[in-house]
Structure 1
Amino acid sequence: MSFLIDSSIMITSQIRQYVVQVIFSVTFAFSCTMFELIIFEILGVLNSSSRYFHWKMNLCVILLILVFMVPFYIGYFIVSNIRLLHKQRLLFSCLLWLTFMYFFWKLGDPFPILSPKHGILSIEQLISRVGVIGVTLMALLSGFGAVNCPYTYMSYFLRNVTDTDILALERRLLQTMDMIISKKKRMAMARRTMFQKGEVHNKPSGFWGMIKSVTTSASGSENLTLIQQEVDALEELSRQLFLETADLYATKERIEYSKTFKGKYFNFLGYFFSIYCVWKIFMATINIVFDRVGKTDPVTRGIEITVNYLGIQFDVKFWSQHISFILVGIIIVTSIRGLLITLTKFFYAISSSKSSNVIVLLLAQIMGMYFVSSVLLIRMSMPLEYRTIITEVLGELQFNFYHRWFDVIFLVSALSSILFLYLAHKQAPEKQMAP
């Protein structure tokens, strides 16, 4: 768990605004508290009334942050970066927040997400719309991760790179650099010659002298322009060759790493995740076509099928509780870790002194919606007796809709990722580089 704390500290330490640090930290803390309460439900920690109170308070606080505070401060810092609106930034911040609330509320119209009897500011109204955004984000990331993970781990997808390929590409790179140097020397000598002629010779007199000087300078500048264009093209080629060389070195290191024990272990994981990806795509398709949502959690269902098939005496309820606890714990840790890694990379890639506050608040918004939606989906992975309080707190939501929506977005994301990685793999340079 130290990695999770370090990641949040690294993000917030880059921010000078105290309110941004507090919002991000509180969002992260209450998001982790929700997962802690899930584990408490499975282990039976605290009384049921106490767990219900903490669930209710936790959801109210995180919805207050996600729907009211974070959007307002995002608009506030955006307006603060615009000089023309600096004096009336509070007014324009409120207008931006009202615009967000309008579209946030209209988001629930196309989806059958809850019963119409709930009030405007009820938990059900807010969490249902947050759930649509969060489940969409989760499905997109899960679909890409399910395809990209085996593609990254499996040595089957590695290109066959040899030392000859690397030497040939390095030779081309050196030749290109030599051509760039020689052309830049020519340009420098031409400029020096033109400068000396302009300094030594007197200005030409007469009509024909003027025409001669104009044509000579025009031809000289035209030659310099053509050489400069050639240099620009060669410099772009050198950049591409350098990137290809670095890619070949990285691929060669991955090939050598795949031959080690750890590399073989990750290669095995790649095959396992590829089977999981195919199974997940198949099950998502079945769920969409037949409009099916599981009523029993996967652990209990799997144990029941195994016990009935083998015909042995087995305490399904006892072991499903412990295995569900382990499974939910793994899902929680990997979800938080994966999301924080992605958010940290994203923050360092695009942050600047002016945009860092807005980016951190956007990351807090994404993180909060992601974790709230995780609770909606993890609920199905828990045995029925452990879902009671979570179902009561979340209210009369259409839980089946969220699982079907997840399957639809996951399927689209996974198939799009397969197509994208296939095209990228086919377009990657193989061994066509001649020495």
Structure 2
Amino acid sequence: MSFITDSVIMFISQILFFGFGWLFFMRRLFKDYEVRHVMVQFIFSVTFALSCTMFELIIFEIMGFLDPGSRFFHWKLGLYSMLCMAVLILPFYIAYYAVGNTRIGPFHRNRFITALVSWFVFIYFFWKLGDPFPILSRKHGILSIEQLVSRVGVIGVTIIGILSGFGAVNCPYTYMAVFTRNISDGDIYSLEKRITQTIDMILTKKKRYIKFGTAATQEQKKSRMQFVWNMISGGSAGSENISHLKNEVDALEELSRQLFLESVDMHATKARIAYSRTLKGRYFNLMGYFFSLYCIWKIFICTINIVFDRVGKTDPVTRGFEILVNYLGFDVDVKFWSQHVSFFLVGIMIVTSIRGLLITLTKFFNAISSSKSSNAIVLCLAEIMGMYFVSSVVLMRMNVPAKYRLIITKVLGDLQFSFYHRWFDVIFLISALSSIGFLYVAHKHVPEKIS
């Protein structure tokens, strides 16, 4: 009877997650598009619900909620369903809708066959992905769950490392007022004056361009033989003037676009300066200093882990309480408090992971999507989301006390978990250092454009 009750609880929670994913799809992703396919919306919402279910089971594991047998069953069911979505269903539908956007006759008429062939190509490269990495021992068969989880983990951990590295650098850069340029009203007025002058020059030269063009047309009508001779001899002075004016107009139009973008950036910076003086802005500025210290510490730790091939054996919460007890002399029940603090921290990690990924997916979708490609892009984002959350469970395993890792290890299979943590450190370090270099160049380049 407890199994039925637990299943009802899980089913209701999955319906709620599915509904949230459905509303998010309608209100955030496709709010600017009239073309909506119910199948795309359904697949995205199912993927989101399965992702949240895995995080929910981690919290239930720490709380001791539901029967252990029920939790294990729903762990298996959720993981198999997610792998089925990420490896079988989503790649096929991505290819199906991508082919639908093409106007190449043979491919468009045989969308199903083309999508099926594309799916086989995906499976081949997906399977070959595991060859260069030490992710499995040879005892696992070709159809074992470890074969799929290990390859999804490589892709997902790579995505997590890239996003985490960029976010760790970009967050303090965005929040801290010290990185904000000092923009005055005079700077904005001067730039807008340059824009007005550039537009006036464009109009003047276009008038001259039209004038020369009209004169050349009249000259051609008066003397056809002279026109033929000019063409043979390499053109006339009028045609050279027209070509020169056209090049000047193109250059000035490009300059006006750059100045306009700079004007938008300066207005945004001005608003950011005003926001930084508010109470909320000062709070985020303080948080920026905190995240900058965290970024430096994370880069240092990742470097140490890579150089010395080090992987933590104890979760951070338990390790922190052990330091308090052994070195500071505090009388603390490590097992009792580590369980409660782990529940709190894991909950924060889950909420921030879901929120951060949804915000990133929304920005990415709005930047590259169109009415024709939106369905395929949404499915690609769902594929990334599924692999991201499966890999998050693999990495989050180290952040919970040892007794809660047993069921996660049992569900995911006999993987080389230490490899994924080292791989995350490598990708995070590359992403963070690349982001620092990119933001440094961008920050230094902006004043040069103003001058």
- Per-residue deviation, residues 211-257 of structure 1 (Å, max 9, x unmatched): 69999983323222211211111111111111112212211221222
Q: Residue in 2 aligned with 1:245? A: 263
Matches within 5 A, 1:315-330: 315-330=333-348
1:404 maps to 422
Stretches of structure 2 that go unaligned for 5 or more consecutive residues are 1-16
Letter of the 2:60 partner, please give it: F
Bigger drift between 422-431 and 229-238 goes to 422-431
**In 2: Cα distance, 1:51 partner to 1:352 partner:** 41
Q: What percentage of aligned pairs have identical amino acids?
A: 64
Contact 1:143 1:413 survives alignment (8 Å): yes
Match status 1:190 vs 2:201: no
Change in Cα spacing, 1:16 to 1:243, as seen in structure 2 (3 Å) is closer
**Counterpart check, 1:134 vs 2:152:** no
Distance 2:229 2:295 in 1: 75
State the AA in 2 paired with 1:109. Answer: D
Q: TM-score, normalised by structure 1?
A: 0.92
State the partner residue of 2:298: 280
Q: Bigger CA drift: 304-313 or 334-343?
A: 304-313
User: Are positions 1:8 and 2:25 aligned together?
Assistant: yes
342-351 or 295-304, larger mean C-alpha shift? 342-351
- Structure 1 CA distance for aligned equivalents of residues 113 and 204 of structure 2: 60
2:363 and 2:127 map into 1 onto residues whose CA distance is 31
- Corresponding position: 1:394 with 2:416: no
Cα distance change of structure 1 residues 208 and 115 upon mapping to structure 2, 3 Å threshold = closer
Structure 1, unmatched stretches of 5+, are none
Aligned partners of 1:87 and 1:363: how far apart in 2?
Answer: 26
Cα deviation per residue 1:140-192 (whole Å; 9 max; x = unaligned)?
A: 10001001111111111111222222222222222111211221222233344
Match of 2:43 in 1: 23
Equivalent position amino acid for 1:101 in 2: I
Report how many residues are paired: 429
* Pair 1:429 & 2:447 matched: yes
CA 1:190–1:260: 2 relative to 1, 3 Å? same
Distance 1:223 1:431 in 2: 30
Q: Does structure 1 residue 40 correspond to structure 2 residue 60?
A: yes
Would the alpha carbon gap of residues 104 and 268 (structure 1) be closer, same or farther in structure 2, given more than 3 Å must change?
Answer: same
- Which residue pairs with 1:181 in the alignment? 203
Instruction: Please say if residues 155 and 258 of structure 1, whose CA atoms lie closer than 8 Å, have aligned partners that are also in contact.
Output: yes
CA contact 1:7–1:344 (8 Å) conserved in 2? no
Secondary structure at 2:447 match in 1: coil
| 2: CA distance, partners of 1:171 / 1:309 | 65
**Residue in 2 that maps onto 1:350:** 368
Q: Could you tell me how far apart the structure 1 residues matched to 2:42 and 2:210 are?
A: 57
Deviation by residue 1:57-78 (Cα, 9 ceiling, x = unmatched): 0001110111111112222233
For the residue of structure 1 that corresponds to 2:420, the secondary structure is helix
User: What is the TM-score of this pair, normalised by structure 2?
Assistant: 0.89
Residues 380-391 of structure 1: pairs in structure 2 closer than 5 A: 380-391=398-409
- 1:375 paired with 2:390, answer no
- Aligned pair partner of 1:78 in 78, 82, 98: 98
| CA displacement at 1:128 relative to structure 2 | 0.6
Q: Give the letter aligned to residue 334 of structure 2.
A: V
Residue 340 of structure 1: aligned partner: 358
- Distance in 1 of aligned mates of 2:227 and 2:117: 69
1:305 corresponds, among 309, 313, 323, to: 323
Q: Secondary structure of 1:387's partner? A: helix
Higher relative contact order at CA 8 Å, sep ≥6: structure 1 or structure 2? 1
Letter in 1 for 2:348: I
Cross-structure match for 1:231: 249
Q: CA RMSD for the aligned pairs?
A: 2.5
Change over 3 Å in CA distance of 1:78–1:4 after alignment to 2: closer
Counterpart of 1:101 (choices 118, 123, 137) is: 123
Aligned in 2, Cα 1:295/1:5: closer, same or farther, shift over 3 Å?
farther
Once the two structures are superposed, residues 67-103 of structure 1 have per-residue CA deviations (whole angstroms, 9 ceiling, x without a partner) of 1111122222333334222343333322211111111
Equivalent residue for 2:13?
none
